[in-house]
Amino acid sequence: MNRSVSIVCAVLAFVAACGDNPKPPEEGPPDAHVQPPAPDAPVQAAPPTRVIFFLGDGMGVATITAARIYSEGEDGDLTMDTLPYTGWVRTYSKNALVTDSAPSMSAYMTGVKMDNDVIAMSAETKAIPPGANNTVDNCAMNGANGTPVPTILEQAKALGWATGVVTTTRVTHATPAATYAHICHRDLENAIAAQLVEAAPDVVFGGGLEHFLPNTVTGGFRTDGRDLTMELTLAGYEVALDRASFAAIDPASTTKAIGLFTLSHMSYELDRDETKEPSLAEMTTKAMQILEKNDKGYFLMIEGGRIDHALHETNAVRALKDTIAFDDAIAAALVEARKDDPQLEHTLIVVTADHDHTMTLNGYAKRTGPTTGSSAGVLGLVKDVITGAPSLDAEGRPYTILGFGNGERRVPGGRASVPALDDATTGDKAYHQEAAVQMPAGGETHGGTDVSIMAIGKGAEKFHGFMTNTAVFALLHDAAGF
């Protein structure tokens, strides 16, 4: 059989394998029509998956609503309002109707319900408060008190993903700690700082320098003599301790970075000195730019942590400003993610809270629109929708739109004994809202109401309906493809 016939037969056989009625080859020189099969195209690597988890600490529905009105007015939208998939999360802990941040965030990160004050440990773990020395992990010292439970961050790291933690609190505080630490009491922050060094997330930005420095250095809290900032430097981290060194971090050439911008928590947004402390949005963007160089993907947790602290102080204006700063970080993350993933086909962004607070919106208040320099807005008094005059309580006294179920400012006896409230008083940044039940200063408590959850991007459609915080873990896990 000559060469031409051989090629024709081979082509006919190939075509026959692809259909019942092959078209005969055209006549003419066979080499003009029949080419050897092309080599297999190289297999394209799957695009990296990014999972970004936003946690507004204490950010209940009332706080979101008040922040929206404060910033945009009743008809406006925050960025988080525009995320297409929404649901509700039940936040109770293993032993309490009202959770604290430690077990709630741990449930998101591990899928396990645990007792209040416990961080990322098995369900039987009992909270053991620290003694005078919180440098030592007394959880381990007490023996047989539970076992560590892997977190999503740790699972991501084990698979070769990049990982990051960004917060406005101390980086050793309960919420950020629940991504990388395992301990029987959240107050063991010196021990948690040592666990951070061991866990080695690629990027960490926030406050809490005091837990990384020996107590022989001004501001240091450690009693074991360790300077963890030096250990991190030796481990290859770029260490930033102020705004200037944060700005000097080049995401293009940096793979590991830690920023500890304050000894304790970072400033409230209302009080933040922009020349000294980066914003949450700035930290979010830089963290993403560093992490996105990993060709497998990354997991990043971002906390608006000081929302919670302002609510404990019943200081609504600071809580609302921090909620807006948190929302700005969500907007910044969407911008950064869409640079190379315009449709968010490989990026999941989830926004939720660990618990709510006792703040509520009172009365049949006339609409206020956003708060401005000339209008207290939602920070002001309840006013009649017809006359615009202040509405009055049973004692004939005006009262505020925002109030708390419990808090430090409860007027003893009849309210007629104190000066009447006005918008100038209640709109001041130092004003603490009145409460129904009196608590010590700063002692307003968390609430037990369900919190909202919002999502966009890869797998976001699964975040709907009512769920527990442990179920959120499973959804995050699935979206990451673990």
CB 319 within 8 A of CB 431: no
The residue among 288, 328, 290, 287 whose CA lies nearest residue 307 is 328
Choose between 121 and 482: higher pLDDT: 121
Amino acid at 17: A
Q: For residues 51 and 62, give the distance between their C-alpha atoms in angstroms, rounded to a whole number.
A: 27
Find residue 162's DSSP bridge partners: 298
- The closest of 296, 408, 409, 316 to 359, measured between CA atoms, is 316
Are 405 and 428 in contact, with CB atoms under 8 Å apart?
no
Mean pLDDT of 446-451: 98
CA angle 250, 253, 258 (to 5 degrees): 60
Q: How many CB atoms lie within 10 A of CB 149?
A: 19
Contacts of 1 (CB under 8 A, 6+ apart): 9
Structural element, H or E, at residue 351: strand 347-353
Tokens 């004050």 — which residue? 117
> Model-level pTM?
0.90
CB atoms within 10 A of CB 99: 27
Give the separation between CA 180 and CA 235, rounded to whole angstroms: 17
Residues carrying CATH 3.40.720.10, the chain: 50-358+455-480
The band of 34, judged by pLDDT with boundaries at 50, 70 and 90, is: very low
How large is the average pLDDT for residues 295-300?
96
**Given this model, what pLDDT does residue 12 score?**
35
Q: What is the pLDDT of residue 417?
A: 81
Q: Which of 4, 6, 93, 101 is catalytic?
A: 101
Indicate the fold that domain 50-358+455-480 takes in CATH: Alkaline Phosphatase, subunit A (3.40.720)
| Among the ranges given (109-118, 125-134, 223-232), the one the predictor scored with the smallest mean pLDDT | 125-134
Contact 222, 212 (CB under 8 A): yes
Q: Half-sphere exposure of residue 196, counting CA atoms within 13 Å on the CB side? A: 35
Query: How large is the average pLDDT for residues 198-227?
Result: 97
Q: How far is residue 375 from each of residues 363, 400, 403, measured CA to CA in Å?
A: 19, 14, 18
In this structure, are residues 437 and 401 in contact, taking their beta carbons and an 8 Å threshold?
A: no
Per-residue pLDDT averaged across 47-54, rounded? 92
> Does 337 have pLDDT greater than 60?
yes
Burial of 395: CB neighbours in 10 Å, binned 0-12, 13-18, 19+: exposed
Q: What is the pLDDT of residues 219-230, one digit of tens each?
A: 999 999 999 999
Q: Which of 46-60, 210-224, 405-419, 426-440 comes out lowest in average pLDDT?
A: 405-419
Q: Which of 143, 157, 154, 159 minimizes the C-alpha distance to 177?
A: 154
Is 101 marked active-site? yes
Q: Read off the pLDDT of residues 355-410 as tens digits, 9 standing for 90 and up.
A: 999 999 999 999 999 999 999 999 999 999 999 999 999 999 999 999 999 999 98
DSSP state of 264: S
Q: Give dist(CA 30, CA 25) in Å, integer.
A: 9
